[in-house]
């Protein structure tokens, strides 16, 4: 099969289009013919080597965390899907590789593709939608009447998180540029902060939850908008001891993560605020619940651009500009949807 291969970790390096053996199928796997694959900044960070201590992939390997396509083979113990089914998902860590013509995925990690989405639209959703779900539903237990600040509302996670938070009945504030204000309002944002000209920490108060995806300064200032017993949940770090334990990291890495997260954890505790780091996990069951919301019209994908598979490296360059609204996707098999 054709695939984009990371030969070595290097910042902003190009992936090589080459031939790889077709994936081996495990007992609980399905083999997916990839029709479209979503790009995420996580892919760029893995390529750059930023996650080597946590996700020790050994080059050469194939990147890619979002897939939509059709099942072409099933393992002997796989029961949920049959050949010909249209599916989408985020393969679990250690088994990524959607920038390819084929990928073998544990059937527990995928869900039926929403019937009202194209393959490209479906491929844009799994990682960001699961992240939003796991932050707002699993971790924050966000409920009707609460207030949530979602940073970077026009980004991949932000565009889905705004919609999910509104579905849950929350009041939603978000930070974005003035150019994207109409977009985030159309998704349901109640309060829109222009991060270039306005100070969110001076304008917002008594919030229950903050979803942070920005740098350390925004993370620390987010403490100022939360009420006591509020929750500051970051998907951009720093990782905390609970994450290190859940990942089964070695004692040295556990100590390192404890130290680098010490400042924000202590500052949060001093304000009676709960700080936690979330690194999303694959989950077909959760994705199935998200599918229901998509088909009901409660959540819609936001696609910025669709690139041809041959232009994957150009797509990487584009997402790294930081100007993408929503998601960027590559079409791998451009025939029937």
- In the chain, where the domains are located: 2-125+302-331, 128-277
How far apart are the C-alpha atoms of 183 and 304, rounded to whole Å? 12
Instruction: Assess contact for 112 and 67: CB atoms under 8 A.
Output: no
Helix ranges, 57-169 (H): 119-123, 126-133, 156-167
Whats the size of the chain, residue-wise? Answer: 337
Q: What does each of the 337 residues of the chain score in pLDDT, given as a tens digit? A: 999 999 999 999 999 999 999 999 999 999 999 999 999 999 999 999 999 988 889 999 999 999 999 999 999 999 999 999 999 999 999 999 999 999 999 999 999 999 999 999 999 999 999 999 999 999 999 999 999 999 999 999 999 999 999 999 999 999 999 999 999 999 999 999 999 999 999 999 999 999 999 988 999 999 999 999 999 999 998 999 999 999 999 999 999 999 999 999 999 999 999 999 999 999 999 999 999 999 999 999 999 999 999 999 999 999 999 889 999 999 999 765 4
Q: Evaluate whether 2-125+302-331 and 128-277 have a shared fold.
A: no
What is the dotted CATH code of the domain comprising 128-277? 3.40.50.720
How far apart are the C-alpha atoms of 92 and 64, rounded to whole Å? 11
- Superfamily grouping for domain 2-125+302-331: Medium-chain alcohol dehydrogenases, catalytic domain (3.90.180.10)
């Amino acid at each position: 099969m054709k695939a984009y291969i990371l030969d070595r970790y290097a910042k902003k390096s190009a992936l090589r289009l080459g031939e790889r053996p077709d994936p081996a199928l495990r007992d609980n796997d399905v083999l997916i013919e990839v029709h479209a694959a979503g790009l995420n900044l996580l892919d760029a960070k893995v390529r750059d080597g930023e996650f080597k201590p946590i996700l020790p992939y050994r080059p050469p390997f194939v990147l890619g965390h979002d897939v939509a396509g059709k099942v072409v083979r099933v393992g002997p113990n796989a029961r949920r899907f049959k050949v010909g089914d249209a599916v989408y998902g985020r393969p679990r860590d250690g088994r990524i590789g959607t920038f390819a013509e084929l990928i073998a995925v544990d059937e527990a990690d995928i869900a039926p593709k929403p019937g009202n989405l194209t393959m490209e639209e479906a491929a844009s959703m799994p990682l960001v939608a699961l992240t939003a779900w796991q932050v707002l539903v699993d971790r924050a237990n966000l409920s009707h009447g609460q207030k949530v600040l979602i940073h970077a509302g026009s980004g991949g996670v932000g565009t889905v998180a705004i919609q999910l938070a509104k579905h849950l009945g929350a009041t939603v504030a978000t930070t974005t540029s003035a150019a994207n204000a109409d977009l985030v309002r159309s998704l349901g944002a109640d309060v829109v902060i222009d991060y270039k000209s306005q100070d969110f920490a001076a304008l917002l108060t008594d919030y229950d939850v903050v979803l942070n995806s920005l740098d350390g300064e925004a993370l620390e200032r987010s403490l100022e908008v939360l009420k006591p017993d509020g929750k500051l949940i970051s998907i951009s770090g720093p990782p905390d001891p609970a994450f290190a334990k859940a990942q089964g990291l070695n004692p040295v890495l556990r100590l390192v993560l404890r130290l680098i997260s010490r400042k924000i954890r202590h500052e949060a505790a001093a304000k009676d605020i709960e700080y936690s780091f979330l690194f999303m996990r694959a989950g077909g069951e959760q994705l199935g619940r998200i599918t229901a919301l998509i088909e009901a019209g409660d959540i819609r994908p936001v696609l910025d651009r669709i690139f041809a598979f041959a232009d994957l490296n150009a797509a990487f360059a584009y997402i790294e500009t930081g100007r993408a609204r929503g998601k960027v996707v590559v079409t791998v098999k451009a025939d029937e949807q």
